[in-house]
């Protein structure tokens, strides 16, 4: 399903183009209010841009990229044992990609799991002209800000050629357009959680990611090989909503657990009372 799109940044465009784009967006809103077909009034740069959910789809693990050191690697080298968080950005993005990566960083700093221990993070540039030096610069910033041991080996920043980039983005349903006039990309923002086997498990949209939801997604993607009994209870009480890209509480399950706890509590109380009466 096509998810709502965060439209990129206006600050990167020259003044006249900002005015033109704003006019087009206002026209889009007016058209939507009048019941017109949105596709007919969407600016050409934004047509087809967004994220399609492809849950359980297999990511091609034989795709080749370059890591931040310049080494040629296959995507599969980051899979096999741990779930993987995938972020698709480009390193010279003037604002939106940085906001998305900052959002990911802030969320991961609040998750008790550690990058490199319980899960991996793979950040891939969608711009085939970007270099491993750019990837190295970004890695230095984010691994440094994350500040936990093992992150250097567990958070990977990749660049690649157009065929590999397209194959990966198509596999996870990430659609974007290159805008020659500004030399930038129109794209959505979000992260994808993948299983250790490289299958799409969960999506989170925007630039702010709830730490609790990321933790639950990692536990689910690992088939509960990581996490605690509390996580198992939370997963029972919460259900992933693909339309919203988040976990929501299932009230009936919460009530069921509440009923079980009540019965157990009453049983324990009755047992204690009976034992007290017996001793008397």
Residues forming beta bridges with residue 102, ordered by sequence position: none
Q: Is 196 a domain residue? A: yes
pLDDT in tens, 255-274: 343 443 443 444 454 545 55
Q: For residues 188 and 176, is the Cβ–Cβ distance under 8 A?
A: yes
**Which of the given ranges, 27-41, 47-61, 225-239, has the highest pLDDT on average?**
47-61
Of 266, 253, 64, nearest to 165 by C-alpha is 64
Q: Is 257 a domain residue? A: no
Amino acid 275: pLDDT: 57
Amino acid 69: pLDDT: 96
Q: pLDDT band at 94, cuts 50/70/90?
A: confident
Q: How much of the chain exceeds pLDDT 90, in percent? A: 56
State the virtual CA torsion across 26, 27, 31, 32 in degrees, nearest 10.
-30
Amino acid 19: pLDDT: 42
Q: Is 70 a domain residue? A: yes
pLDDT surpassing 70 at residue 38: no
Q: Provide the 3-class DSSP secondary structure of residue 76.
A: helix
Of 109, 119, 118, 117, nearest to 146 by C-alpha is 109
Q: Is 10 a domain residue? A: no
Amino acid 7: pLDDT: 38
CATH number of 145's domain: 3.40.30.10
User: What mean pLDDT comes out for the span 162-174?
Assistant: 97
In angstroms, the CA 242 to CA 174 distance is 15
Q: Which of 65-74, 79-88, 260-269 has the lowest mean pLDDT?
A: 260-269
Of 79, 75, 96, 100, nearest to 163 by C-alpha is 75
Place of tokens 């967006």: 25
Which sign, positive or negative, has the C-alpha torsion 66, 71, 74, 77? negative
Tally of domains in the chain: 1
In angstroms, the CA 153 to CA 140 distance is 12
Amino acid 268: pLDDT: 52
Q: Is 107 a domain residue? A: yes
Q: Is 178 a domain residue? A: yes
Cα angle, residue 222 at apex, residues 218 and 225 outer, rounded to 5°: 110
Element of type H or E holding 53: none
Amino acid 103: pLDDT: 96
In angstroms, the CA 88 to CA 105 distance is 14
Q: Is 158 a domain residue? A: yes
Q: pLDDT band at 4, cuts 50/70/90?
A: very low
pLDDT surpassing 80 at residue 62: yes
Distance of CA 254 to the CA centre of its chain: 27
Amino acid 111: pLDDT: 95
pLDDT surpassing 80 at residue 224: no
Q: Is 274 a domain residue? A: no
pLDDT surpassing 90 at residue 247: no
Strands (E), the chain: 50-51, 64-66, 72-74, 84-89, 120-125, 155-158, 174-179, 184-187, 190-194, 200-205, 238-241, 246-249
Tell how strand 200-205 and strand 238-241 pair up.
unpaired
Amino acid 242: pLDDT: 75
User: What mean pLDDT comes out for the span 150-155?
Assistant: 95
Of 150, 59, 151, nearest to 105 by C-alpha is 151
CB atoms within 10 A of CB 10: 13
Amino acid 153: pLDDT: 95
pLDDT surpassing 50 at residue 252: no
Range of the domain at 184: 50-221
In angstroms, the CA 209 to CA 109 distance is 11
pLDDT in tens, 117-139: 999 999 999 999 999 999 999 99
Q: For residues 185 and 126, is the Cβ–Cβ distance under 8 A?
A: yes
Amino acid 274: pLDDT: 58
């Amino acid at each position: 399903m096509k998810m709502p799109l965060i439209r990129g940044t206006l600050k990167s465009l020259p003044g006249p183009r900002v005015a033109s784009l704003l006019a087009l967006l206002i026209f889009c809103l007016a058209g939507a209010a009048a019941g017109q077909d949105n596709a007919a009034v969407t600016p050409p740069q934004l047509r087809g841009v967004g994220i399609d959910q492809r849950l359980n789809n297999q990511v091609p693990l034989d795709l080749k990229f370059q890591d931040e050191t310049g080494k040629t690697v296959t995507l599969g080298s980051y899979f096999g044992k741990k779930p993987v968080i995938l972020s698709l950005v480009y390193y010279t993005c003037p604002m939106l990609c940085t906001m998305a990566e900052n959002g990911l960083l802030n969320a991961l700093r609040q998750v008790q799991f550690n990058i490199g221990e319980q899960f991996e993070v793979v950040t891939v540039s969608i711009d085939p002209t970007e270099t491993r030096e750019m990837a190295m610069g970004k890695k230095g910033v984010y691994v440094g800000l994350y500040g936990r041991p093992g992150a250097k080996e567990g958070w990977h920043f990749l660049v690649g050629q157009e065929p590999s980039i397209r194959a990966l983005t198509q596999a996870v349903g990430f659609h974007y357009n290159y805008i020659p006039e500004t030399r930038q990309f129109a794209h959505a923002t979000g992260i994808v959680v993948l299983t250790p086997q490289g299958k799409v498990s969960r999506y989170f949209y925007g630039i702010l990611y709830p730490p609790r939801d990321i933790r639950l997604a990692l536990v689910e993607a690992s088939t509960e090989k990581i996490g605690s009994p509390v996580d198992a209870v939370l997963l029972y009480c919460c259900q992933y909503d693909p339309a919203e890209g988040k976990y929501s509480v299932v009230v009936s399950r919460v009530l069921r657990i509440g009923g079980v706890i009540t019965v157990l509590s009453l049983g324990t109380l009755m047992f204690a009372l009976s034992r007290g009466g017996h001793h008397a």
